[in-house]
Amino acid sequence: MDIGTIVAGILTLCILSFLYRDNPIYKMAETLLIGVSIGYTLVIVWSTTLVDILFEPLFSESKLALIIPFVLGLLMFSRFHRRTASLSKIPIAVLIGSGAGVAIPVMLEARTLKQMSATVMPLISGSGWPDISALVVMVGVVCTLTYFYFSREHKGVLGKSARLGTYFLMIFFGTTFGFTVMSRMSTFIGRMEFLLTDFLRIIK
Amino acid sequence: MDRKLALGICFIFGVIMFAQYFSQHPMARAVNQAVLEYWQIIFAFTLLVGVASFMKSSFRKMRKPSDRPYQILGLLGLISMPVLALVWGIKAGTPFMWMFENVQAPMQATVFSLLAFFVASASFRGFRARSLQAAILLGAASIILLSRSSLGGIVSDYLPPVAEWIRNNPSMAARRAILIGIGLGSLTTSLRVILGIERTWLGGSQR
């Protein structure tokens, strides 16, 4: 058995010890995971973003325009001193402003218009019979949207529509729950398979 | 003054990025590319600030003797990854990737798998068909769970197609309505941010 499997097996058991109760072994594994994850992200961001997009072009290819984001990035560190903290609002403003500007058309297109166009489908099939699935989708979208409409009291037709919307929402939550449980369960089975086959070698 | 400057910068960058979407002119494309690069670089620096902040908080927590071993272990994990990357690189087969494959990935997967137990215990306590809505939730979840397990085919041959229909139609309808809501909400929030109505990101008071 190689050392990597032994380390991975011991650490897996340390994390699983939480099923008994919160204990020092689990806490140690948890803080190690946090530290290693941050370190990994740091290295990946440093090499793929800061080196590839900033330092290489700026210092090797002399793309001087990159001094602007470099200085803006360095301004983020001004947060650590009370006197200079307000300077960090400048790079944050660039991030927030450009993000908001990009989000408007993207959200309108991907989240709203595409979803609407996918909902508005022919309700009568080629054979002349109503397309039940298309009808369910259209009624479901309209009723669920009325549930989220808070400008008028949910009474009368609006109230009934909103109530029907909650049933659709419950179906959505139920299916999402089912898929989440199954995905977590398959991850757990994977970990158990590793423990019993590769680490403990109980199953051959 | 600094708040007004930040609001002005936010407005300018917001308008530029919004306007460039409607232009195919090479200059607009170049501006878009440049701002996206700026965005990535500044975002990377925010991560560095986050790391520095994590280290600062870990050192502060170390003053408490009972927390010291955990904080030391966390810092060791954090420092070891850049050191390994610096000495041996980050290609496949290096100690950096060994740490990722044998320390980070197994622990991360196990933490995710732990959620199966908590979700199951929470659903055991919470899933009671007290009302019609609760019964629908329970029914939909049960159908999906049964159809995705080996029991699905044993219970009924109709179960997997029924589960697929529920997923693709009524469930999809609610999902679409939620996505439309998210889209409209993001759009209005973005507009409020660009126009300076929404100022919570500046911190402090709303003035």
Q: pLDDT tens, A94-131?
A: 999 999 999 999 889 888 899 999 888 888 888 888 88
> What does the pLDDT average to over A60-66?
89
Give the list of residues 6+ apart from residue A94 with CB closer than 8 angstroms, or none.
A72, B9, B10, B13, B38, B39, B42
Report pLDDT for B202: 86
- How many helices (H) and strands (E) would you count in chain B? 9, 0
Mean predicted lDDT score pLDDT of chain A: 92
Residue of chain A whose Cα is closest to the Cα of B204? A86
**pLDDT at position B206 over 80:** no
**pLDDT at position B207 over 60:** no
Report pLDDT for B125: 79
Q: What is the pLDDT of residues B147-182, one digit of tens each?
A: 988 777 788 888 889 999 999 999 999 999 999 999
Please report the beta strands in B30-157, taking only residues with DSSP state E, as ranges in sequence order: none
Q: What is the pLDDT of residues A146-158, one digit of tens each?
A: 999 989 898 999 9
Tell me the residues of chain B between 141 and 200 that have a Cβ less than 8 Å away from chain A.
141-145, 148-149, 165-184, 186-187, 189-191, 193-194
CB B55 within 8 A of CB B75: yes
Residue of chain A whose Cα is closest to the Cα of B177? A141
Residues of B with Cβ-Cβ distance to A136 under 8 angstroms: 169-170, 173
| Binary contact (A173, B140; C-beta < 8 A) | yes
**pLDDT at position A22 over 60:** yes
CB A8 within 8 A of CB A202: no
Report pLDDT for A62: 86
Q: Give the tokens for residue A13.
A: 């058991």
| Binary contact (A95, B46; C-beta < 8 A) | yes
* Chain B interface includes A175 (CB < 8 A): yes
Q: What is the pLDDT of residues B119-137, one digit of tens each?
A: 888 877 777 778 899 899 9
Q: Looking at the DSSP assignment, which residues form a beta bridge with residue A130?
A: A124
| Binary contact (B52, A80; C-beta < 8 A) | yes
Mutate to test the interface with B, among A80, A106, A111 (most CBs of B within 10 A): A111
Report pLDDT for B204: 64
- How many helices (H) and strands (E) would you count in chain A? 7, 0
B154 vs chain A: nearest CA distance in angstroms?
A: 18
Report pLDDT for B154: 80
Percent of chain A scoring above 90 in pLDDT = 70
Tell me how many residue pairs between chain A and chain B have CB atoms under 8 A apart.
392
Rg (CA), chain B: 25
Report pLDDT for B128: 75
> What does the pLDDT average to over B13-36?
91
Q: For residues B130 and A107, what is the distance between their CA atoms, to the nearest angstrom?
A: 38
Written as one letter, the residue type at B179 is L
Which of helix, strand or coil describes residue B197?
coil
Residues of A with Cβ-Cβ distance to B188 under 8 angstroms: none
> Looking at residue A1, what DSSP letter applies?
-
